[in-house]
Amino acid sequence: MENTIEQLNSMFKGGLVNGILTISFYVILFLLVNYLITKLIRKHEFKHKDAVLRIKSILLWTILIFSVLSQITFMQDIATTLLAGGGIVAVVVGLASQEAASSAVSGMMILISKPFKVGDTIILKEYDLRGKVTEMTLSHTVIETLEKNLIMIPNTLVNKAIVENMTHETEYKVAYLSFDVSYESNLDKASEIMKEVITNHPLYYDIGEEVKIHCTELKDSGITLKARMTTRNIDDSFELCSQCRLQIKKAFDEAGIEIPYPHITIK
């Protein structure tokens, strides 16, 4: 009986009891971590969810198996050999695919944090890019520009960039429209025309606040008047600004309000 107990104790790194307790701890920790990571992944919607779940399972099972083997005396040499061989392979693979791995990690961070989603219009200020997100993967993000061109951006670049989400869900969007008028023009009349054109436009979204016209700059040749207006979404903002510029220009012409531009007098 004593020989049997001694043999069992010798099979485990710290003895039979310690070995069983340590292995049990590893199994419980594995189940808990596996549950939490799976729950976190399933909580978010992204294209390669199944692939991420498979990679997660492989990594966790590998860690668990080697942890258990490390507690069994006669399996330690095998585990050490496998770890050494796996380490060499990991270094080779890591050096060969460092950029891809970095992009995949960045992609996971983007998919989990969700700074934007497919269908959103974003601006990457560092790269002077603006467009609608059409696809998101672990390696790259694809945006469609206003010219209908598709641009594929590595997630490593997206993760480092300052991203402005133009379609962030809010009740309304704010847009600004500026006009320069001459110093001789009637500023009250110009402000009234701008306000009237904007408020009467069908794309203007009335939130209960009066359209405000501000004097933002005194230039060499004129005065800058800037209007603050609201729309339901970013697409309406672009269209509203475009149409109001044309209508305000016509109204200024009819009212005799001059928009200054450089003049050259030749004597």
Report residue 158's pLDDT band, with 50, 70 and 90 as the boundaries.
confident
pTM of the model: 0.48
Q: Are 138 and 108 in contact (CB under 8 A)?
A: yes
> How many whole angstroms separate alpha carbon 127 and alpha carbon 123?
9
Mean per-residue pLDDT for 90-98? 47
| CATH ID of 106-165, from 3.90.1860.10, 3.30.930.10, 2.30.30.60, 1.10.600.10 | 2.30.30.60
Every domain of the chain and the residues it spans: 2-96, 106-165, 173-255
Q: Determine the CATH number of domain 173-255.
A: 3.30.70.100
pLDDT at residue 159 in the model: 82
Run of H or E including 80: helix 76-96
Cα 263 to Cα 54, 193, 207, 266, distances in angstroms: 69, 26, 41, 10
Report residue 95's pLDDT band, with 50, 70 and 90 as the boundaries.
very low
> How many whole angstroms separate alpha carbon 103 and alpha carbon 152?
13
With a CB cutoff of 8 Å and minimum separation 6, the contacts of 225 are 178, 179, 180, 181, 187, 190, 191, 194, 213, 214, 215, 216
Tokens representing 23? 């292995």
